[in-house]
């Protein structure tokens, strides 16, 4: 069967940006007129707005979500010989940030319902070398922070939230990123709050930590040409700050649109025994950065949907402990069975605010059809 033209794209940034095109162009012109390209007033204005939105005292704009994680760990003193606990079911950047501090990532498995760090497995991973815990808020939902924070407090270990996929999500009424000593965000273009390129931020209530991160993001400068630390070039661009300030005003409405699409998917896909739908845990507000279902024979389902013109994705097909880059950890198949099973089964359906109801219905119809075909073929082979 030949592939059909794309009927439903996985992500449509053009549709997302078209309504704000003129406003964004005017903002970019203001950046050009003032030559405030690296840091400067537009970044500072966004930092103020982002801190207020999250409910945090400080926000530090940086070059990416990876920078946010890395610089937060560096500012906490994580270094060679240390261990940082996180999960294997995440994007590579979470572990990279640990490695670039010279530390060793230590993984714990995920909860089979929320796909975030399983607090019941956390304490046994703590050693005398543990210097930080990095729970990952995956796909738009915050991890179960109360037990994680309780364990961290008892052991005197700081918690740094990987909040790169949960812009605007809440846990028991509080915004993501405000539970640990620092919350790290990515503003990669496809995120719920996306820039026009690479950008990230750290939020924190700790003034001293905020000061260290600001210093590290600018080559370790306390003031120009006076370097107190070995830092890095991790400043946010002025254009990104200006764009993000505009888009932030629309974030809540965009998240509500995602939640509406998720409810529609859930209704249309209800009752399918071979599909596991995402769950919004009690006390949490899921913002559906990704709408990931779990299906058997995932790769075959993906191929069939693509041939039908439904663009889907996979987040993430290889857990970090099974990546070649981390084979030196010696963690074989079966080390983290929940994360490994999810990696085989996750299928990300189209999810963005501008999806139309008829597109959501088409995705659900085609997914049902693909699964029915596979069941029929499996039954025929078994006869």
pLDDT, tens digit, 9 for 90 and up, residues 235-263: 999 999 999 999 999 999 999 999 999 99
Give tens-digit pLDDT for 304-352: 999 999 999 999 999 999 999 999 999 999 999 999 999 999 999 999 9
1, pLDDT greater than 60: no
State the Cα–Cα distance between residues 311 and 254, nearest whole angstrom: 21
Sorted by where each begins, the domain ranges of the chain are 14-107+116-248, 251-382
State the DSSP H helix or E strand holding residue 382, giving kind and residue range, or none if neither: helix 357-382
What CA dihedral angle connects 278, 291, 97 and 244, to 10 degrees? -130
Whether the predicted pLDDT of 83 surpasses 60? yes
109-158 pLDDT, tens digit per residue, is 999 999 999 999 999 999 999 999 999 999 999 999 999 999 999 999 99
Residue 3 has pLDDT above 90, yes or no: no
The conformation of residue 345, written as its DSSP 8-state character, comes to H
Name the DSSP letter for residue 191.
S
pLDDT band, very low/low/confident/very high, at 2 (cuts 50, 70, 90): low
**The pTM is what?**
0.96
Tokens of 111: 């909860």
Gap between the terminal Cα atoms of the chain: 25
Treating both helix axes as pointing N-terminal to C-terminal, what angle do 251-269 and 357-382 enclose, rounded to 10 degrees?
30
Which residues have a Cβ under 8 Å from the Cβ of 211 and sit 6 or more positions away?
none
- 58-62 vs 200-204, strand pairing mode: antiparallel
pLDDT score recorded for residue 137: 98
What are the DSSP E strand ranges found in 218-357? 221-223, 226-227, 284-285, 291-294, 346-349
**What pLDDT does residue 221 have?**
94
What confidence category does residue 80 fall into, taking pLDDT thresholds of 50, 70 and 90? very high
The radius of gyration of the chain's CA atoms, rounded to the nearest angstrom, is 21
Average confidence (pLDDT) over 213-232: 95
Q: What is the reported pLDDT for 379?
A: 62
Specify burial of residue 259 (Cβ count, 10 A radius: 0-12, 13-18, 19+): middle
Query: 90-108 pLDDT, tens per residue?
Result: 999 999 999 999 999 999 9
Mean pLDDT score of the chain: 96
Looking at CATH, the fold of the domain delimited by 251-382 is given as: 3.90.1150
Give the Cα separation of 123 and 219 in Å (integer): 36
Q: What is the pLDDT of residue 382?
A: 60
Summarize the confidence of residues 55-75 as an average pLDDT. Answer: 98
**CATH class for the domain made up of 14-107+116-248:** alpha beta
């Amino acid at each position: 069967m030949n592939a059909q033209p794309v009927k439903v794209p996985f992500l449509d940034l053009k549709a997302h940006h078209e309504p704000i095109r003129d406003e964004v162009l005017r903002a970019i012109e203001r950046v050009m007129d003032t030559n405030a390209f690296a840091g400067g007033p537009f970044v500072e204005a966004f930092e103020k707005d982002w801190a207020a939105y999250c409910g945090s005292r400080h926000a530090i704009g940086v070059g990416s979500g990876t920078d946010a994680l890395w610089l937060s760990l560096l500012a906490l003193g994580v270094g060679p010989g240390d261990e940082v606990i996180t999960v294997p079911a995440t994007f590579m950047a979470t572990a990279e940030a640990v490695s670039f501090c010279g530390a060793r990532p230590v993984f714990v498995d995920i909860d089979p319902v929320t796909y975030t760090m399983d607090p019941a497995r956390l304490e046994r991973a703590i050693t005398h070398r543990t210097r930080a815990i990095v729970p990952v808020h995956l796909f738009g939902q915050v991890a179960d922070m109360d037990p994680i924070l309780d364990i961290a407090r008892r052991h005197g270990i700081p918690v740094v939230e990987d909040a790169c996929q949960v812009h605007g999500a809440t846990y028991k009424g509080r915004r993501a990123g405000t539970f640990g000593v620092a919350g790290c965000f990515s503003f990669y273009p496809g995120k719920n709050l996306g820039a026009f390129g690479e950008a990230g931020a750290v939020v924190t209530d700790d003034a001293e930590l905020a000061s260290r991160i600001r210093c590290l993001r600018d080559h370790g400068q306390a003031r120009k040409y006076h370097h107190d630390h070995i830092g890095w070039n991790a400043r946010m661009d002025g254009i990104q700050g200006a764009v993000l300030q505009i888009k932030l005003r629309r974030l809540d409405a965009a998240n509500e649109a995602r939640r509406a699409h998720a409810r529609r998917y859930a209704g249309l896909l209800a009752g399918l025994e071979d599909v596991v739908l995402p769950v919004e845990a009690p006390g949490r507000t899921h913002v559906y950065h990704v709408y990931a279902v779990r299906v058997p024979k995932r790769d075959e389902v993906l191929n069939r949907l693509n041939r039908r013109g439904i663009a889907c994705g996979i987040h993430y097909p290889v857990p970090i402990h099974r990546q070649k880059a981390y084979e030196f950890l010696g963690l074989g198949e079966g080390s983290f069975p929940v994360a490994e099973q999810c990696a085989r089964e996750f299928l990300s359906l189209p999810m963005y605010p501008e999806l139309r109801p008829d597109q959501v219905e088409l995705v659900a119809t085609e997914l049902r059809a693909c699964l029915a075909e596979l069941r029929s073929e499996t039954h025929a082979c078994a006869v």
